[in-house]
Chain A
């Protein structure tokens, strides 16, 4: 860093861009902190009266569920557990700390804390899914009411809240599509069509369900290619799985024509509404003719993404497809709520129990607190924020917004730093890491890796104009550094906990490890 960077702040005037340094605790993995014999909670011994009445409580457990060896869990005092996670939380970035608009497609909006309190309070936390429905009427009512709200938002006839993630919801949709064709004896349909900028889970779920996948590339104007769709449909078409707006933020203005072409070929249409944040109260899946759709409650409806889950998905269908919904459904007869397991055409269960109850409560609370007008305002603000940020970002030399040139975007933009990279040799990943030195960051892109040197920004409705100005100023600064001092950017970050991670093991089956046990084995630590 240069001398003037160090400056005299905080004594002098505040610098134009926030000064930042992340905490560094050199915090070990929790397993390495284990102290044999240490305990966080000491449960009291069984009282003599109880012991006399029931004998050894553990004796009630069947032998098949009794451990012979204690579990290999870390042993720590409460204070050390709290300190460990508090430290890790400081070695992080996120919506509660910074302008978290850099994780485009993920809709990283602010989750109101009051909804967390509803979800973590004892009324919900102490419930068990095996309780009799007569004792769980409250949560069943919330589930039923959330289904009514999602029906109104999408125009669909029924919803399931069972999926634990967006991809599970997409998988539920393709499973219902398969069951629908099978129920009609229509067995020759083995192809699913999607677009290259639809969320990649669509192609992945169709493939997982055994379908051949046909991917459409954009037309000459950068929009989803209707002529390509016409060339792709046939008597083998089972369904179109499509996201709109796509992950580029481009809205497909002919989406109803896409649906018509597929329907004429005898296929079904499923609308991936992972990118619904800019269209709430403005367009509806049903009105464009779709047979199925899904939402990510953890994106659009503000519940936590939960770092890989459980998040929450919701699948909606027309009356014609309702018999295939997963079991159980929540039914209401006007006075009581019940779970219906007796649905002979159902595709079965996606996961245990009914859904991720805490996230269902959060999403319900979020929607009810906003109301119908509020939801539309969310969408309008998200679109306005995105197009304002796009206007600011495109003023930075070296960046562009490929496809549908000159047109506005809905709620996110996939930018390209290709020009800057060609001029400076500094790529998008390096720019994103340098942005971390200013207390924020961005993520490049997920599959497909078609946009060169990508950067995907999605500001949502949560951020103020000042927040977006700050973010754009950081990007401008970093891009200027790429020209004036490319080595500075390429060696960034300097103010983060971890300098640069070695991604090598992610590519190497001999080194990758997703559990502590696998890590110890592959690193040769077990002798």
Chain B
């Protein structure tokens, strides 16, 4: 890739009220009423300060940077506080910022072709950014929300700034910056406050590959994870039996299986293939049950999100009745070595909604990690 003859363009959108509910125990900041309650309880907005901490990590010396920001508290204020001279995009609609503002400004940044869009917030903000930009531009979350279940966030504001600086440097040098698809999960906050954690897999954002998992610039190949997914797919497809229905859960690793078969895949949904052909796309629990009760079946699943859930997060369609019908011995768990590494020693988890089934699923499971490669990994309920 040739080095571009222009400044590196970074976008910034801050959700100024992100995280405001956390410190006062409200488990989130979705909805105007919650925000007003949080403010009444004495919550102080922290998103701006966390954004400043990230921006201070940008490299101002050697890389020519152009910072596009949303106005006022949605980016401009933080950029100025960090001593940067930003270009302000658009105008605020009113006194209070809304999710619609986040979507509007994120879309405007994508239209201007930013090399990376930084956004500050939590899971809700990530959902808004996804709705606005999809995979049009790479993004990176500066964590400031109460709920951070999505994999689109850096581990800290400082780490976000450092990653952004690396991306800028790589783009400026004409090098290939490494990106990966990160899961965007969201929970219904009303459920969350009642203690029910049922995150939904909303989609995937393109984020810079975290160097901690691939050893910074000494990675053997920036395509390593994609290659691992293809190797897993080759193994899974080779092991497929005739006349058996294979239920393909959500996830990028499993999408590689569908690609190997040459069939389309619903990225956030569940599809079924049999004898190399698509049998049903984006099925719900009842339709799935009908298929797996009709003949021999197997499940192909991968852990979703940073918590290592194999069942019960993002693939709720594969519920207890489906699992009973298929049988544990016909569950194929796949995961790239990077996915296992990202769990940092945490076991896989299951939460099917049926505690007795969960208990039966615990123990050790063989995980397909490559072509002819297996890992033995713990599952806990």
Contacts and interface: CB of A to CB of B under 8 A. Distances in A.
A232 B375 CA distance: 9
A214 B159 contact: no
A388 B9 CA distance: 49
Contacts, number: 119
A422 B155 CA distance: 7
B7 interface: no
A217 B215 contact: no
Interface in A207-253: 207, 211-220, 222, 225, 227-229, 231-232
Nearest to B376: A228
Interface stretch (A29-37, A344-352, A445-453): A445-453
Given A228-B364, A232-B366, A507-B219, A452 B376 contact: no
A218 B345 CA distance: 7
B161 A425 contact: yes
A385 interface: no
Nearest to B215: A449
A424 interface: yes
The binding surface of chain A is classed by DSSP as mixed
* Interface footprint category on B: 35 or more
A111 to B, nearest CB: 27
B364 A425 contact: no
Nearest to B156: A422
A508 B364 CA distance: 38
A228 B378 contact: yes
Interface stretch (B81-89, B185-193, B206-214): B206-214
B341 A445 contact: no
The binding surface of chain B is classed by DSSP as mixed
Given A427-B212, A449-B213, A232 B158 contact: no
A229 B375 CA distance: 10
Given A213-B373, A418-B212, A423 B341 contact: no
B211 A425 contact: no
B222 A421 contact: no
A74 interface: no
Interface in A4-60: none
A231 B375 CA distance: 11
Interface string A474-507: 0000000000001100100000000000111011
B162 interface: yes
Contacts of B274: none
Contacts of A217: 340, 345, 375-378
Contact of A213 (B215, B347, B374, B378): B374
Given A426-B162, A429-B217, A490-B59, 5 more contacts: A215-B375, A217-B376, A220-B378, A232-B364, A448-B337
Interface of A: 196, 203, 207, 211-220, 222, 225, 227-229, 231-232, 402-403, 418, 421-429, 444-445, 448-450, 452-453, 486-487, 490, 502-504, 506-508
Question: Which 4 A/B pairs are nearest by Cβ-Cβ distance?
Answer: A425-B158, A425-B162, A231-B364, A228-B376
Interface of B: 57, 59, 61, 155-156, 158-159, 161-162, 173, 175-176, 211-222, 337, 340-341, 344-345, 347, 363-366, 369, 372-378
